[in-house]
């Protein structure tokens, strides 16, 4: 008798949980949460590079284009200084599927020092500035990849760029740029 009563209580509790999770109040709360946390980033990042093959030893110039994808002003925080664009983004370069060796400058900008790097690597990121940008194209930034990576071999290179979006708390990733370095 006790066993049957316990089974009935467990079954009733389980039914109550299932019914409660599908009630309208629960659905409205879940919908409200999704509205409060946008899944779409507030900006996009597009990278473009030279259309022709690049010779080994030449600068590898790419352009980063940032576009405000919202219908409101977007406040963009950026490090100040002549190399601020290198600090504002994360760069991922591979050659034939393998990570390309970083330069001292890259490690200095990202704070990823190695043993043997000069002590100045430990310097902080510096002061930031916040600027408002209306909807649409915000800015273009030229980047020289040879400042960030030791490009010492010919081959097929692939670049990706990303940045953390403070508004949506997501990582915004660029398109993938592929280019060839020739001897």
pLDDT tens digit string along 54-73? Answer: 999 999 999 999 999 999 99
CB distance 182 to 54 below 8 Å: yes
Asked whether residue 55 falls in the same domain as residue 124, the answer is yes
Average pLDDT in the 89-103 region?
Answer: 94
Q: What angle do CA 68, 73, 75 make, to 5 degrees?
A: 85
Number of domains composing the chain: 2
**CATH number, residue 144:** 2.60.40.2970
Asked whether residue 98 falls in the same domain as residue 10, the answer is no
Average pLDDT in the 80-108 region?
Answer: 88
Asked whether residue 32 falls in the same domain as residue 57, the answer is no
Handedness of CA 49, 52, 53, 55 (dihedral sign): negative
H/E element holding 76? strand 74-79
pLDDT above 90: residue 178: yes
Asked whether residue 21 falls in the same domain as residue 71, the answer is no
Residues 6+ apart with CB under 8 A from 170: 39, 41, 164
User: Higher model confidence: residue 114 or residue 46?
Assistant: 46
Asked whether residue 15 falls in the same domain as residue 78, the answer is no
Asked whether residue 157 falls in the same domain as residue 79, the answer is yes
Domain range for 15: 2-36
pLDDT at 181: 93
d(CA 120, CA 106): 13
Asked whether residue 23 falls in the same domain as residue 53, the answer is no
Q: pTM here?
A: 0.72
pLDDT at 115: 73
Asked whether residue 30 falls in the same domain as residue 50, the answer is no
Tens digit of pLDDT for each residue in 100-144? 999 988 888 777 777 777 766 444 556 788 889 999 999 999 999
pLDDT at 126: 61
- In this structure, what token pair is assigned to residue 82? 């002549």
Asked whether residue 82 falls in the same domain as residue 136, the answer is yes
Asked whether residue 100 falls in the same domain as residue 143, the answer is yes
């Amino acid at each position: 008798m006790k066993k049957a009563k316990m089974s009935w209580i467990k079954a009733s509790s389980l039914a109550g949980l299932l019914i409660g999770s599908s009630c309208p109040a629960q659905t409205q709360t879940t919908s409200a949460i999704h509205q409060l946390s946008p899944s779409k980033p507030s900006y996009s990042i597009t990278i473009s590079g030279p259309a022709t093959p690049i010779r080994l030893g030449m600068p590898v110039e790419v352009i980063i284009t940032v576009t405000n994808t919202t219908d409101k002003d977007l406040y963009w925080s950026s490090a100040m200084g002549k190399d601020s664009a290198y600090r504002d983004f994360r760069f991922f370069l591979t050659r034939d599927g393998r990570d390309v060796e970083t330069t001292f400058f890259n490690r200095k900008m990202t704070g990823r020092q190695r043993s043997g790097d000069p002590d100045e690597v430990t310097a902080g990121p510096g002061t930031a500035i916040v600027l408002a940008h209306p909807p649409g194209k915000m800015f273009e930034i030229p980047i020289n990849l040879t400042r960030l990576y030791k490009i010492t071999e010919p081959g097929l290179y692939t670049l990706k760029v990303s940045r953390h979006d403070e508004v949506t708390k997501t990582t915004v990733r660029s398109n993938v740029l592929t280019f060839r370095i020739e001897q």
